[in-house]
Amino acid sequence: MTTTPARLTVLAGPTAVGKGTVSADVRARYPEVWLSVSATTRAPRPGEIDGVHYHFVSAEEFDRMAQSGELLEWAVVHGRNRYGTPRGPVEERLAAGVPTLLEIDLQGARQVRESMPDARFVFLAPPSFDELVRRLVGRGTEGAEERERRLQTARVELAAASEFDHVIVNDEVTRATDELVHVMGVVRA
Ligand SMILES: Nc1ncnc2c1ncn2[C@@H]1O[C@H](COP(=O)(O)OP(=O)(O)OP(=O)(O)O)[C@@H](O)[C@H]1O
Ligand SMILES: Nc1nc2c(ncn2[C@@H]2O[C@H](COP(=O)(O)O)[C@@H](O)[C@H]2O)c(=O)[nH]1
């Protein structure tokens, strides 16, 4: 297995498009790719593990991280909780030549474009808006009010797809993963 020199890849896209699913598939099939673990003030969902899916932190701890410059980017997502990328681990992996993936929202992607313009920016798109709604409802992790809030954000995010260097349609997870790792320059020798 060989890789091109390590560059940061940012994966964004609307709620429930499958960013987490595709990122997990990348991690499972391409363990040489490192997936950043974000900090969030959101409460864990059943089955989510602190330090694996997110660093679940209090509002006070998030404030401290943001104010001390520990976050590469951060945003209030869906108008409610804060999410941010711890800077140190990303810089360490990139310095060590490890292909590094961030799964973040549009606001965060725009911040990273400002600070790290050499990164690759990938937008994961749904086959259709109806399919996006089916996936959000099918996931069953949010109530009706939170789903509506997320779909409002989704409309804004979908309108920004052209800002990204690559758009990948998540019609099928394995295929979307293959396209993502190809864009990342992760190739099998
Ligand atoms: N290609 C696909 N085909 C069908 N279902 C999919 C596909 N990809 C993901 N899903 C399903 O869609 C739902 C949402 O996926 P996931 O949680 O990965 O989305 P997400 O983009 O990370 O969402 P959010 O931004 O809200 O965290 C899950 O139930 C997942 O199993
Ligand atoms: N700007 C950032 N956005 C992030 C980060 N980590 C995750 N996210 C985005 O938040 C939403 C909601 O996630 P959920 O787990 O509550 O469904 C989703 O779009 C993620 O991509 C981050 O570090 N910074």
Domains of the chain, residue spans: 8-184
Average pLDDT over the chain reads 95
148-180 confidence digits (pLDDT tens): 999 999 999 999 999 999 999 999 999 999 999
pLDDT recorded at residue 3: 45
Section 33-43 average pLDDT: 97
What single-letter DSSP state applies at residue 186?
A: E
Question: Does 187 or 95 have the greater pLDDT score?
Answer: 95
Best substitution site from 10, 17, 21 to test ligand 1's pocket, by max atoms within 8 Å of Cβ?
A: 21
Q: For the full predicted model, state whether its pTM sits above 0.90.
A: yes
Q: Which residues have CB under 8 Å from 161's CB, separation 6+?
A: 123, 125, 167
Pairing of strands 39-40, 186-187: unpaired
In the predicted structure, residue 14 carries a pLDDT above the cut 90: yes
Q: Which atom of ligand 2 is nearest to the CA of 75?
A: 1
Ligand nearest to the CA of 81: 2
Q: Flag the least confident range among 4-8, 69-73, 110-114, 182-186.
A: 4-8
Residue 137 CA to chain centroid, in angstroms? 20
Atom of ligand 2 nearest to the CA of 71: 23
Protein residues whose CB sits closer than 6 Å to any atom of ligand 2: 15, 19, 38, 42, 73-75, 77, 83-85, 103-105, 107-108
Name the nearest CA neighbour of 112 among 92, 133, 84, 138: 84
Write the pLDDT tens digit of every residue in 92-145.
999 999 999 999 999 999 999 999 999 999 999 999 999 999 999 999 999 999
Which atom number of ligand 2 is nearest to the Cα of residue 42?
16
Q: How many CB atoms lie within 10 A of CB 103?
A: 23
Q: Cα(68) to centroid of ligand 1, in Å?
A: 33
Cα distance between residue 180 and residue 26, in whole Å:
8
**What's the CA-to-centroid distance between 107 and ligand 2, angstroms?**
10
* CATH class label, 8-184: alpha beta
What pLDDT is attached to residue 189?
62
**Alpha-carbon dihedral sign for residues 54, 52, 45, 180:** positive
**Is a pLDDT exceeding 90 seen at residue 7?**
no
Q: What is the DSSP string of 28-73?
A: HH-TTSEEP--EESSPPPTT--BTTTBEE--HHHHHHHHHTT-EEE
CB-based contact 101:109 (threshold 8 Å): no
Instruction: Please list the residues that pair with 4 across neighbouring strands.
Output: none
Task: Report how far ligand 2's centroid is from the alpha carbon of 83 (Å).
Answer: 6
